[in-house]
Chain A
Amino acid sequence: MILLGELSLWVALLMAAWAATAGFAGAYTHRGELIASAQRALYAMCGFVVLAAIGIWTALLKSDFSLAFVASYTSANLPAIYKFTAFWGGQAGSLLFWVLILSIYSAIAVFTGRRSNHALMPWVVPTLAVIALFFTLTIVFGANPYERLGWIPADGRGMNPQLQNPGMAFHPPNLYLGYIATSIPFAYAIAALITRRLDNEWLTSVRRWVLVSWFFNTVGIVAGMWWAYVELGWGGYWAWDPVENASFLPWLVNTAFLHSIMVQEKRGMLRKWNVTLVVSAFLLSILGTFITRSGVISSVHAFAQSSVGYWFLGFLLLSIGAAAWLVTTRLDDLRTQAELESMVSREASFLFNNLLLVGIAFSVLWGTLFPILSEAVTKTKITVGPPFFNQVNVPLGLALLALTGIGPLIAWRRASVANLKRQFTGPVVIGLVTGMLLVALGMRDVYAVIAYTLAGFVLGTIAQEFYKGTRARHRMYDENYAMAFLRLVGRNRRRYGGYIVHVGVVVLFAAFAGLAFKEEFDVTLKGGEKYQAADPYGNEWSFTSQGVSAYEQLNRQTTAVLLEARRNGKPAGVIRTEKRQYVDSNGNPTFQPSTEVGILSGLRQDVYVVLAGVTGEDTAELRVTFNPLVWWVWYGGMIMAVGGLIVMWPQAERRKKQAGYEAVLEPATVGAGGPAES
Chain B
Amino acid sequence: MKARTKFLIGGALVLATSGYLMATSIEETGTYYLTPTELATRIQKDSSFYGTGVKVGARVVPGSIVRAPGGRSMEFEVTDGAKTFPVSYHGIAPDTFTDGVDVVVEGRMDRNGTFAATTVLAKCASRYENAPEKYQDTPGYKSATNPTATT
Contact = CB atoms under 8 A, between A and B. Distances in A.
Contacts of A143: 130
Interface stretch (B43-51, B75-83, B88-96, B108-116): B88-96
Contact of B140 (A340, A351, A370, A591): A591
B55 A614 contact: no
A370 B97 contact: no
Interface residues of B, number: 61
B22 A383 contact: no
Q: Is the interface of A mostly helix, strand, loop or mixed?
A: mixed
Given A298-B57, A355-B11, A383-B55, A153 B143 contact: yes
Interface in B4-40: 4, 6-7, 10-11, 14-15, 17-18, 21-22, 24-26, 28-34, 38
A371 B26 CA distance: 11
B137 to A, nearest CB: 12
B146 interface: yes
B7 A384 contact: no
A615 B130 contact: no
B95 A391 contact: no
A633 B142 CA distance: 42
Given A72-B130, A391-B21, A613-B71, A351 B11 contact: yes
Nearest to B69: A615
Nearest to A354: B11
A223 B91 CA distance: 27
A387 interface: yes
B148 to A, nearest CB: 8
B147 interface: yes
Contact of B18 (A150, A160, A363, A524): A363
Contacts of A342: 3
A343 B55 CA distance: 46
A392 interface: yes
Instruction: Give 3 closest A-B pairs by Cβ, nearest first.
Output: A613-B71, A621-B70, A381-B33
A514 B79 CA distance: 40
A574 B69 CA distance: 25
Given A72-B129, A348-B7, A388 B69 contact: no
Nearest to A594: B95
Contacts of B66: none
Interface in A349-392: 351-352, 355-356, 359-360, 362-363, 366-367, 370-371, 374, 380-385, 387-388, 391-392
Contact of A615 (B3, B6, B22, B70): B70
A662 interface: no
B3 A359 contact: no
B130 A304 contact: yes
Interface in A573-601: 584, 586, 588-595
A109 interface: no
Interface of B: 2-4, 6-7, 10-11, 14-15, 17-18, 21-22, 24-26, 28-34, 38, 55, 57, 67, 69-72, 92, 94-98, 102, 104, 121, 123-132, 135, 138, 140-148
Interface string A55-81: 000000000000011011100000000
Given A72-B129, A359-B18, A388 B30 contact: yes
B26 A613 contact: no
15 contacts: A72-B130, A151-B146, A162-B95, A304-B128, A304-B130, A304-B131, A343-B3, A355-B14, A360-B18, A363-B21, A370-B30, A384-B26, A388-B26, A590-B140, A614-B70
A614 B129 CA distance: 32
A384 B25 contact: yes
Interface in A149-182: 149-155, 157, 160-162
A591 B128 CA distance: 13
Contacts of B67: 613
B21 A343 contact: no
A389 B67 CA distance: 33
A591 B135 CA distance: 12
Nearest to A391: B25
A610 interface: yes
Contacts of B34: 380-381
Contacts of B57: 298
Given A233-B94, A591-B140, 7 more contacts: A151-B146, A155-B144, A302-B128, A304-B128, A356-B14, A612-B72, A613-B72
Contact of A380 (B21, B32, B92, B94): B32
B94 A588 contact: no
Interface of A: 68-69, 71-73, 90-92, 143, 147, 149-155, 157, 160-162, 232-234, 298-300, 302-304, 339-343, 345, 348, 351-352, 355-356, 359-360, 362-363, 366-367, 370-371, 374, 380-385, 387-388, 391-392, 395-396, 399, 522, 524, 584, 586, 588-595, 610, 612-616, 619, 621, 623
Given A343-B10, A590-B141, A91 B128 contact: yes
A385 B55 CA distance: 11
Contact of A341 (B3, B125, B147): B3
A392 B21 contact: yes
Contact of A92 (B18, B33, B130, B135): B130
A238 to B, nearest CB: 15
Contacts of B18: 359-360, 362-363, 392, 396
B28 A588 contact: no
A388 B25 contact: yes
Contact of A160 (B4, B98, B127): B127
Nearest to A387: B29
B98 to A, nearest CB: 4
A149 B132 contact: yes
Given A355-B11, A359-B15, A621-B72, A157 B29 contact: no
Contact of B121 (A300, A339, A366): A300
Contacts of B148: 151
A371 B33 contact: yes
Q: Which of B29, B67, B145 has its CB near the most chain A CB atoms (within 10 A)?
A: B29
A359 B17 CA distance: 10
Contacts of A345: 3
Contacts of A363: 18, 21-22
Q: Which of B7, B71, B95, B121 has its CB near the most chain A CB atoms (within 10 A)?
A: B95
Contact of A588 (B97, B123, B142): B142
A302 B144 CA distance: 28
Contacts of B3: 339-343, 345, 348
A392 B6 CA distance: 24
B112 to A, nearest CB: 25
Given A161-B95, A352-B10, A302 B124 contact: yes
A355 B18 CA distance: 10
Given A385-B29, A396-B18, A623-B92, A302 B127 contact: yes
A155 B97 CA distance: 24
Nearest to B14: A355
A72 B126 CA distance: 9
A366 B15 CA distance: 14
B96 to A, nearest CB: 7
A382 to B, nearest CB: 5
Contacts of B25: 384, 387-388, 391-392
